Amino acid sequence: MTSSAERMTVETAAAPQPALLVFDRAAWIKSAVIAVLFVATFWHLLSFIPPLGTLTYAWVYEADWSHGPLIPVFAAYLIYTRWEQVRRCAVRHTWVGLVILLGGLGLYLWSLAGMAPFGYLRPLSMMITLLGVIIFLCGLPVLYYAWLPWLYLFFAIPLPQRLYFAWTNPLRRIGAGVAASVLSLIPGLTIERVGSNIEYLYKGATGVIGVADACSGMRSTVTLCALGVAVACVSQRPLWQRIVLVLSCVPIATFCNFIRVTITCWLHIFVGAEYASGQYHMMLGLVIIVLAFAIFSGLSWVLAHLFVEEPVQADARAPAAEAAHGTGRSRDA
């Protein structure tokens, strides 16, 4: 007679084992073909031949999104760091990816037909389609390692205009208010904030300084957030440190932008209006981004050295005590 344990062993051996991902030459060729088809499908967004696509145009001509080409590169690096785990994933539930893929393509076609209520639906549908392609080709378990690189790609997509201006306008007003409060401490300077403008009177000279959209700090905020998420994901840190680093990006970028607006207003009043615009203004913006990176790096260093785990040292008296205890037992014997 065959025991139940033996029958279970035979049944387990006979059960079909889930297929694992294989990255042989044929798989790489298939991936290249799919990549070409993907770019061709979303050529309206990804065209790198003039006239540029909607997304690539923002990367080339809009300063707030000039970091866009670097985002896919780092997302690919995140996949590379998880490559061994990805290779061991079982190919399961690929039909889920097919459903998501078809849904993304349907949304994209709907947006091309001019029936979409907002333009952001096109890049969003592209991202949904990409998610469907990943699951359809590799299976649902691979999403455990691919969800973060996929989400990171959103840093390369410009925000909707309505949401962008809803954030920039308050930042402009707050920046103007902070600059006016700081500059009002200078003797002989009368200054007042009106909306996002700063009116000043100094030694009989009057003027108005407007805080433009470029001074709202959105560029440094988005760039620093992308960097912060990258550092938090790549470095070996406890989860709470990663959360702190990500949450600190917006306050650091906002604080540094307040410094930028204040310095720009000071230059306009006391040095010359030409030093508060044009090339000088752009150079100051780059310096402020570097300052934000420096503060973020300092916070990262502090968190890394805040709690240092000391190696556990064995008590030197323990071996002697055990030896004495053993000697005592042998004498008693």
- Taking the domains of the chain in order of start, what are their residue ranges? 19-158, 163-304
Give dist(CA 68, CA 240) in Å, integer. 28
Helices 121-138 and 54-61 pack at an angle, to 10 degrees, of 110
Sequence-distant (6+) residues with CB within 8 A of 201 are 189, 190, 191
Cβ neighbours for 193, distance < 8 A, ≥ 6 positions apart: 173, 176, 177, 180, 199
52 class by beta-carbon count within 10 Å (0-12 exposed, 13-18 middle, 19+ buried): middle
How far is residue 136's CA from residue 91's CA, in Å, rounded to a whole number? Answer: 9
pTM equals 0.74
Q: Binning pLDDT at 50, 70 and 90, where does residue 152 land?
A: very high
Which DSSP state fits 90? Answer: B
Amino acid (1-letter code) at residue 96: V
Is the model's pLDDT at 109 over the cut of 80? yes
User: pLDDT of 125-146, one tens digit each?
Assistant: 999 999 999 999 888 899 998 9
The single-letter DSSP state of residue 194 is: E
- What tens digit of pLDDT does each residue of 158-185 get? 888 788 777 787 888 888 888 888 988 8
Q: Cα–Cα distance between 238 and 22 in angstroms, integer?
A: 32
Q: In this predicted structure, what is the pLDDT of residue 311?
A: 52
Q: What is the pLDDT of residues 205-250, one digit of tens each?
A: 888 888 776 666 677 788 878 888 888 887 778 888 888 888 898 8
